[in-house]
Structure 1
Amino acid sequence: MGEFRRVDGGLYYYGICTAGGMLSAGATHLAVTPLDVLKVNMQVNPIKFHSIASGLNILWKEEGPSSLWRGWSGKLFGYGVQGGFKFGLYEFFKRRYTDVLAGERQSVVFFLSSASAQVFADIALCPFEAVKVRVQTQPNFAKGLSDGFPKLYAREGISGFYKGLLPLWGRNLPFSMVMFTTFEHSVELIYRKFVQRRKEECSRTQQLGVTCLAGYTAGAVGIVVSNPADNIVSSLYNKKANTVMQVAKNIGLMNLFTRSLPIRVALVGPVVTLQWFFYDTIKVLNGLPTSGGLSRSIEGAA
């Protein structure tokens, strides 16, 4: 099974977690760029882009195959930076909150750690997201980040990059809190109820299998929670409305939950699963145990 380094919360551990989060998030988001392009267009123009199959066909016929990869640089670099902050800071805050909140329920630590990490991760992501959404839905705006950043700054100034920060927090904070907490408890449940062995007694392949199962479960639960805010972000960036209340009124409360939900399930579920798989693979290759489970399980992996 190989030997693992002891998790001591040191610079090496947080550095690997940050690098792993950056590489896994950037690569997986890049891979699903065509689905992301379609998702944003379905949110902004649901009448024209009313289904996955027809939407992809419309984009291909009207704008060519290259249109499916619009905004790829924003996906790669924006979500890479976000992933580094999110995973690295989550591990950092989890250690700190565990020490400070000794005796509290594990779920409290998971919620606070993921929320704290996501706040910083979204501040880093927001400028990339602002350019990406415009590139994906406004073909004449820019080709990518290199010309999109200066054009957006010239038109709207610094505020243009952070117009969607509050809705972005509204989307990603609940998703991250639910996703990390669900993942942690899913890992614990799988080992306790199904594998019926301690994590460190399992092979690396078995541990990564548990990571994938827990990752998909976590992603699926988080999608439903965050879908209304995801629709709001796309509408605000494309000036379909000026305020969150206007967006909610225009789209309708029920549609906030259902619009683009199928494409998000197809998009986010595999992305979250692959992110956790790549993230934990990077950790394992560097002598660290896989993620998840109660802290005592992690501490025991020496």
Structure 2
Amino acid sequence: MADYKTLIDAEIWAFIEKTDSHYPPETATFGVEDQRRIYDEMCAAFRVAYPIGVSAIDRDYGGVPCRHYTSGTADVAVMYYHGGGFVVGGLESHDDVCAEICAASGFDVISVDYRMAPEHKHPAMFEDAMAATRAVADELGKPLVLCGDSAGGNLAAAVSHMARGTGLDIRGQVLVYPGLGGDYNKGSYVEYADAPMLTRDDIVIYKNVRLAGEEPVGDPRYAPLHDSDFAGLPPTVINTAQCDPLSDDGVDYQRALKAAGVPVHHVDEPGLVHGHMRARHMSARSSASFERIKEAVTALGKGKWPYA
């Protein structure tokens, strides 16, 4: 097992302790209403004000509740799919993250409040993500960048896979510590099984809540890594955290895209943990990582590929 005391610095330990004080490590075992209440309270404890010049309105796209952020006239739209294991989170949990991406890129950002488990099983969350994405493209007429963290990274990639050949103008995707359907019995799932912020046991709990029955086989809407064809996907930037059971999903996805000739860039952030974007205002490492994420969104939206 990993030596977290050596890998993780004092600022991230302070972040972990603050998170645990609001969101105890055992929260994934609680009832769904308690999980959501505790998660929302934790997110509120970290929330910061919008950057100057950013405004937002709540409205539906494709029948899906969304929040549309703008900082002026933009020629690109960013679709943002929030994390939370397909069980918790929503428009409030990632509100400030979306506002800061909007301010940094100058693009519109549309946060998608997709249906969640256990009330709605797979593929309901994917269906909402796709419906909102299509509606934004049709109504705004702008090229898109897809972005999401954790479960939202899964949705961003799933939309990218299923959008091939549909005419959607997707300039790129930015996946932040995504869960993409890797093998739970090897690699980072074993080495970082007991990581702070997210354990392998948590991942298994969320997977079982998300499913209506048996785990789908070969369904990229569920697990993009399970696709048989990775050709034709948009340029992709993957940002993973070293101390995270999910980190090898990013590694495996990079390999699959590279083998298929898709431009792909992967950064595994040393000493960072799952969910660390929330630490961006209290950790130098997380702040630098978030800068890379915002720069990736901006570059892809402009049709640039600044990676060797």
Q: TM-score, normalised by structure 1?
A: 0.30
Computing the radius of gyration from Cα coordinates, the structure with the larger value is 1
Q: Which has the higher helix share?
A: 1
Q: Which has more strand, going by share of residues?
A: 2
Higher relative contact order (CA 8 A, sep 6+): 1
* TM-score, scaled relative to structure 2: 0.29
